[in-house]
Structure 1
Amino acid sequence: MQDSQPTQDASIAATLYWDPDRGLSVGRTTVRVRYAETDRMGITYNAHYLTWFEIGRTEFMRSAGFPYREVEEKGYNLPLVGAEFRLPASVGYDDVLFIETWVERVRTRMVTFAYRVLHDGRVAASGTTTHACVRASDGRSGNLPDWLQKKLRQLTA
């Protein structure tokens, strides 16, 4: 018998949809809180939200047609240069979460992604991560390549 509940593994892919209220494309990824992600009180330890943001961002990019691996293969990296998040509600072991991810801002050299982590219809976390463009060949910062800027901007218009 198959478990009908979503699981957290590599086979999970984001669904990508247009949100008319926000006027942009949003990725939605499902994860389940693992025991190892909780603290002694049974509450998710705060650093794991950044991991879930990464899962959301990675699956969002993949479902939008430009997986992060492709960005790297074309000679670019997008290292994290800033992050902030709020945790208005706690989540615990075995809770099913929905990570919403979207492009908040595209600049010449950076991109900012925004996130909401939902549980039982409420926002458990929200935040942003900002990523700079770095050329893999020499490790120096540079402009986002035109093809990547175009793809990112298409998700916000």
Structure 2
Amino acid sequence: MHYTETEINVRYAETDKMDVVYHSNYLIWFEVARTEFIEQVGFSYADMEKAGVISPVVDVKLSYKRSITYPEKIIVKTWIKQYSPIRTVYEYEVIKENGQLAATGETTHVILNRESMRPIRLDRHFKEWHEKYMELYESN
């Protein structure tokens, strides 16, 4: 299985009154890790958007296991759970610096034409990206 590990330093501003990371920050960490995953396999959201294609989140799942506090360092492990030319599901594990699992989650994305907001196929617009994702998905 191909996955990336993104290290994140927890910032004080990400914590709440109880000194734990506020729940919405996990979604930001997912985005940071997903963007790094995409870049590490050789592609770029920016290039996709320049070509008039977007990939919005249409579903999010997040399960909290353990609290994270400032100033911990965490690792967000990211991989492709499901893939088709129109839809990609990324899966995540948030791991505390002591190795404990803090959270799990997934985000589902579709591929859209930016102007029409209608679904398009990745294999028709970004053939190399599609081929790489097929390879990664099939290796899981």
Q: Is the TM value for this pair above 0.5?
A: yes
> Deviation per CA, 1:24-53, whole angstroms, max 9, x where unpaired?
210111001111110001000111100000
Structure 2, unmatched stretches of 5+, are: none
Correspondence 1:86 to 2:63: yes
Determine which of 56, 62, 66 is the counterpart of 2:43.
66
CA distance in 1, matches of 2:48, 2:90: 16
Q: Percent identity?
A: 32
CA distance in 2, matches of 1:155, 1:71: 19
> 1:71 is paired with a residue of what secondary structure?
helix
Structure 1, unmatched stretches of 5+, are: 1-23
CA distance in 1, matches of 2:12, 2:21: 9
> 1:53 is paired with a residue of what secondary structure?
helix
Correspondence 1:31 to 2:2: no
> 2:102 is paired with a residue of what secondary structure?
strand
> TM-score, normalising length from structure 1?
0.81
> TM-score, normalising length from structure 2?
0.90
Kindly state the Cα deviation for residue 137 of structure 1 after the two structures are TM-superposed: 3.3
Contact 1:106 1:149 in 2 (8 A): no
Q: Which has the higher helix share?
A: 2
> Deviation per CA, 1:89-132, whole angstroms, max 9, x where unpaired?
00011100001000110123110000001001011011100001
Q: Which runs of at least 4 in structure 1 moved beyond 3 Å after TM superposition?
A: none
> Deviation per CA, 1:4-42, whole angstroms, max 9, x where unpaired?
xxxxxxxxxxxxxxxxxxxx2101110011111100010
The equivalent of 2:133 in structure 1 is 152
Determine which of 25, 35, 46 is the counterpart of 2:23.
46
CA distance in 2, matches of 1:76, 1:152: 17
